[in-house]
């Protein structure tokens, strides 16, 4: 079991109490640095506790298909960095088929940008 960083503890403590956020614990990453074949993030709050591989991959639901219209939070409580991709053909922070790298002990926040198929994403440390 890994130990939580201060930011991870704060985010889980605050956002975990909000009914909007479903919670999935212990999701395992897909292949390293791969948008295709990445593990799908289905819950609005996901905590990663098993490293799997360095730069293990996750993917958000397609905004174009209505698969996500709320913010998503990914808590990386592993010993390795992970990458969270947008859906194939969509954008993240304005870049097509992009990802956000979340270092170990940090949190990624993903907010759908209104009226577009673009995620605004940032890591909190």
pLDDT tens by residue, 35-89:
999 999 888 888 887 767 889 999 998 988 876 678 899 999 888 999 999 999 9
Q: Alpha-carbon distance 33 to 74, whole Å?
A: 17
pTM: 0.83
34 secondary structure, DSSP code: -
pLDDT for 101? 97
Q: Alpha-carbon distance 116 to 38, whole Å?
A: 23
Q: Alpha-carbon distance 70 to 53, whole Å?
A: 28
Neighbour tally for 77: CB within 10 Å:
23
The residue ranges of every structural domain in the chain are: 6-124
- CATH code linked to domain 6-124: 2.60.120
């Amino acid at each position: 079991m890994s130990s939580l960083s201060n930011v991870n503890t704060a985010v889980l403590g605050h956002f975990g109490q909000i009914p909007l956020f479903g919670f999935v614990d212990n999701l395992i990453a897909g292949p390293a640095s791969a948008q295709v074949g990445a593990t799908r993030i289905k819950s609005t709050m996901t905590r990663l506790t098993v490293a799997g591989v360095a730069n293990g991959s996750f993917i958000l639901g397609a905004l174009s298909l209505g698969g996500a219209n709320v913010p998503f939070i990914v808590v990386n409580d592993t010993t390795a960095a992970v990458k969270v991709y947008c859906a194939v053909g969509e954008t993240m922070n304005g870049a097509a088929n992009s990802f956000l790298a979340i270092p170990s002990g940090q949190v990624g926040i993903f907010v759908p940008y209104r009226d577009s198929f673009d995620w605004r994403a940032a890591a909190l440390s």
